Structure 1
Amino acid sequence: MREAIRRAGIDPALLAIFALALACRVPIALFTVYHHADEVWQYIEPAYGMVTGDWIRTWDIRLGIRSWLIPMVMLPPVLLGHLLDPAGELHLILPRLVMAVASLGAVWAGWSLGSRLSRRHAIVAAFVAAVWVDFAYFASRTSSDTLSVLAVLPGLALVYRFRAHGGARLALGAGFLLGLGFITRFPLGPALAIPFLWAGRAEFSKAWLPLLGGALLAVLCDVIANAVMGQPPLLWIYRNVMANVVQDRSHAFGVETADWYLRVLVWEWQYIAVALVPALVLGARRYPMLLATAIAVIAVHSAIGHKEYRFVLLGVSLLILLAAIGSVDLAQWLGRGTAPRKTLAAILAIWLAASVQVAATEPFSINWGVGKAPLRAMRTVRNQPGLCGFATYRIRDVPFVSRAVLNRDVPVMLINTKAAMLATSERFDVVVTPAEHLAELPKTFRFKGCASRGKPLFEQQYCVAVREGPCTGRPGLLEYNTALRRMDR
């Protein structure tokens, strides 16, 4: 078997690292819910809406500032999951598993970049792409940030192969993947111009034609996806810029100083940076273009007021890959005279230990519990016998309800005042509310439980109460989508 694999031109070490990568990613896909709400409400929710015709539309969907390309990509696994498990959560899980498998392209990118130097560099770079917590955790996230990284990293590897070997197909493939990275997260545009300029140089017919042809093919995919949904081509980008840059709508979600990303990286890496930074410098000497791209990603996003770690995931991933490649050079210099296999084993062990350290400490450790409490609350709602209507009462997180997560064809209401709660309580039989507001519910409702395990009752934000009996009346102005439009949320 091993010889057959080698004859096919595949290194068995790469297959072993692929298996390791999946062993890290699949459990994360199964046991984490989401890193950011956009993964559900902007991408899974619209895909679920295409399947069922019923979905929650948030303000950015109503303004048309999102492309339909990613929901279209999510549609097949959402549809398959809904067909196989119409009353369960498989339609939520399958998209994460598909993303986890697609992330093997990032592992291959590490191998490809490393193999240009040596097999040892290839093994270390691919191994780090398989086990480093940023790669493994974000791999299964159904977001534009992850999709852009999963496209750009193999695209960059193809760029280097094209410059080494030539060939229009390599340039076309590189252009397509880089273009896909841009169209899924267009603020990466200035950074992605760097590999295009580096690869194209002054070679119009040999380089620029296939590179731009591939990029235009990626843009065409976006145009087609939006045309299918009745949207004009690329208008969503203009609307996005107008809403978030001109009107500053993104500032409502928080504004940070320009050095925020650097402070977060220092906090995350801590003492690990003592070894990581020298390795990064050595790796950058091998691949200066990748360093320039990473710096551009972080610099561009540092100039934007609203900041989230996921926005610079591509930049962080490139820095980690460069450090992985440079760590081989650093270890070879420090361990002169040591057996090569021992040196390689030590490098891999150190990288694995560093990844576990980052994953287990703040700020990264916070991510492991994100989304679990809302999902537990929605499971309780979904499993209530005879469910005929559902309401949220004075929930701070708006939107809280996702039709994809609820997965029940019942009326849903958004209520924010005690008067409205008392006047409409016969229209639903299950309500979710913070613990501090449980006493405001009508006496007909009985406490079922709260979702945040281990927290004291006064900190519980998602508590479920139910009542016996049927639901009478329509949601009216309190219907969830109607209320979201009124609140502009």
Structure 2
Amino acid sequence: MAAGAGHRNHGIDPWLAGCLLLGFALRLAILNLTVYHHADEIWQYIEPAYGMVTGDWIRTWDIRSGIRSWLIPILLAGPVWLGHAISPDSLMHVRLAQGLVALLSLGTIWAGWSLGARISRRHALVSAFVAAIWVEFAYFAPRTSSDSLALSLLLPAAALLVRFRDTRRVPVGLLAGLLCGLGFVVRFPLGPAIGIGMVWAAGLNIKACWRTGWLPLGAGFAGGIACDVLANAVMGEWPLAWIWRNLFANVVADRSHAFGVEPAYWYAVVLGWQWNVLALAALPALWLGARRYPVLLVMALAVIATHSLIAHKEYRFILLGAGLMITLAAIGSVDLMDRMSRRWTLRRVSVTYLLAAWVAASAFVALRHPFAINWTVGKAPLATIDSSAHTPGMCGIATFRVRDIPFLSRALINRDVPLLMLAGPQAAKNAMANASRFNVLIAPTWWTAEVPAPYRLQGCIQPAQPDFEQTYCVYARPGPCSGEAGAFDYNRVLERMDR
């Protein structure tokens, strides 16, 4: 039995409670400082949830193609409905949805504590604290994306798999399997890593471990799949059909290649680039942590290896792998500190110094390139949309040769007005012909000469940038609007462009 396995707590440990409160406070602060990490968070998840509540939303190609599950939008529909009901003219519905996923992310802090407590209380404190303050945990926690939710589901699942292998308690196995099933349907490319963890926890001898291992985990996993089946059935979709459509679109038809392709070694390069010298400094701690939990390192490597085989790569896709390695390094850092103390015949170093070192390391990653660019992602688009929506007398909005597609979002505009997209060399002509349908126009400054005369520049959202980088500028004309969006309705144009 591991050092901390026999310890029994009655109620929550105060140190764990402190880490949970610290982690949630940091996540709420980041939620209020940032908008989104990737546009998918809005257009693929919050936007459909907003559509379920209001009946009006922007539909992108992947939604129209049915390659995404309805499970996440249905999860977000509750906070979106509540926010819209409380404050229908604000973005409270967006913030409440982000707040919900931030709350769910606290499971990663519990997971760190659980894995550490199996060794000692010191390990538990350091591991939970790191999960609370490490920038990648905290920054991605409020993101309404499959990647963030997968981390929030599967890191606790990993801790439960370890506990289940130790105890063979059926409720633990059911819950671990349920989280694994939900994690799979939230982000199915993580399937190999999930499978490794489940097989390890259940036992390789299926016949001998059937009742005590495979059955509880399998039943829980089936429950997670059933949640997805039910969610999609409510929306009129066949069970798991979205997975096959997704595979066809991105593997056979190569739709994801349009967003960029990278070589197989890209994730290794990016991890080194992101963590810089810390990547080398953390290796001894990672190794010692992996000696405690080799299966978690294998799962992390499986996440990275699986996604390395996929041509389109983004760092957020391997969040689970990064999270597992950070957790192992946090656990291993306690062992490393103790080994160094014994080697140099020092008194046991206070954990406080180790926690301070982790805070400094997190700040180092957070404030330097490349991670630092994340703090401003999405702010200019949101400010532009907000400025357009609050233009006095606004009765319709059009984008004019805006290169970001999609750009307009019903969830962000939160107004029942016509939305139009004017693109291509005929944009000026079409703007004049349809000027009665909208009185606010969004365009880059380099197309100012083509903006029809009735529209006057109200301001640009990036005043510190030179003119050639003024991507988001708002123009308006006096007077009311008449008629619907017509042929240039935003959804109709998206469909014609297959975007």
What interval of TM-score do these two structures reach, taking the shorter chain for normalisation?
Answer: over 0.9
Q: Counterpart in 2 of 1:3?
A: none
DSSP-derived class of the 1:326 partner: helix
DSSP-derived class of the 2:282 partner: helix
- Give the counterpart of 2:404 among 387, 394, 397: 397
Q: Does 1:249 align with 2:258?
A: no
- Give the counterpart of 2:226 among 213, 216, 220: 220
- Give the counterpart of 1:419 among 413, 426, 429: 429
Q: Counterpart in 2 of 1:446?
A: 456
What is the number of equivalent residue pairs in this alignment? 483
Q: Counterpart in 2 of 1:368?
A: 375
Contact 2:428 2:452 in 1 (8 A): no
- Give the counterpart of 1:286 among 292, 308, 311: 292
Report deviation, 1:469: 0.5
Q: Counterpart in 2 of 1:146?
A: 148
DSSP-derived class of the 2:326 partner: helix
- Give the counterpart of 1:45 among 44, 47, 59: 47
Report deviation, 1:29: 1.0
- Give the counterpart of 1:434 among 423, 440, 444: 444
- Give the counterpart of 1:78 among 80, 92, 95: 80
Report deviation, 1:472: 2.8
After superposition, the C-alpha distances for 1:360-390 in whole angstroms (9 at most, x for unaligned) are 0111111100000000001111111221111
For structure 1, which segment, 154-163 or 342-351, has the greater mean C-alpha deviation from structure 2 after superposition? Answer: 342-351
Distance in structure 2 (CA, Å) of the matches to 1:439 and 1:403: 28
- Give the counterpart of 2:241 among 220, 232, 235: 235
For structure 1, which segment, 454-463 or 376-385, has the greater mean C-alpha deviation from structure 2 after superposition? Answer: 454-463
Distance in structure 1 (CA, Å) of the matches to 2:379 and 2:285: 37
Contact 1:331 1:343 in 2 (8 A): no
Distance in structure 2 (CA, Å) of the matches to 1:312 and 1:330: 26
For structure 1, which segment, 439-448 or 220-229, has the greater mean C-alpha deviation from structure 2 after superposition? Answer: 439-448
Report deviation, 1:455: 1.5
Structure 2: which amino acid aligns with 1:131?
A: I
Report deviation, 1:343: 3.0
Q: Counterpart in 1 of 2:3?
A: none
Q: Counterpart in 2 of 1:455?
A: 465
What is the TM-score normalised by the length of structure 1?
A: 0.97
Contact 1:335 1:343 in 2 (8 A): no
DSSP-derived class of the 1:395 partner: coil
Q: Counterpart in 2 of 1:305?
A: 311
Cα RMSD, aligned residues only: 1.1
DSSP-derived class of the 1:240 partner: helix
Structure 1: which amino acid aligns with 2:419?
A: V
Distance in structure 2 (CA, Å) of the matches to 1:474 and 1:411: 6
Q: Counterpart in 1 of 2:5?
A: none
Report deviation, 1:339: 4.1
Identity %: 56
Q: Does 1:357 align with 2:367?
A: no
Report deviation, 1:20: 1.1
Q: Counterpart in 2 of 1:200?
A: 202
Report deviation, 1:445: 0.9
Contact 2:158 2:176 in 1 (8 A): yes
Distance in structure 2 (CA, Å) of the matches to 1:453 and 1:130: 36
Distance in structure 1 (CA, Å) of the matches to 2:258 and 2:49: 26
Structure 2: which amino acid aligns with 1:403?
A: R
Q: Does 1:465 align with 2:467?
A: no
DSSP-derived class of the 1:67 partner: coil
Q: Counterpart in 2 of 1:273?
A: 279
Q: Counterpart in 2 of 1:120?
A: 122
DSSP-derived class of the 1:335 partner: helix
For structure 1, which segment, 396-405 or 439-448, has the greater mean C-alpha deviation from structure 2 after superposition? Answer: 439-448
Distance in structure 1 (CA, Å) of the matches to 2:9 and 2:75: 34
After superposition, the C-alpha distances for 1:85-144 in whole angstroms (9 at most, x for unaligned) are 100010010111111111111000000000111111101100110011110000110000
Report deviation, 1:458: 2.0
Q: Counterpart in 2 of 1:211?
A: 217
Q: Counterpart in 2 of 1:335?
A: 341
Contact 1:332 1:343 in 2 (8 A): no
Unpaired stretches in structure 2, ≥5 consecutive residues? 1-7
- Give the counterpart of 2:69 among 67, 70, 77: 67
DSSP-derived class of the 2:350 partner: helix
For structure 1, which segment, 470-479 or 20-29, has the greater mean C-alpha deviation from structure 2 after superposition? Answer: 470-479
Distance in structure 2 (CA, Å) of the matches to 1:265 and 1:447: 43
Contact 2:443 2:471 in 1 (8 A): yes
What is the TM-score normalised by the length of structure 2?
A: 0.95
DSSP-derived class of the 1:448 partner: strand
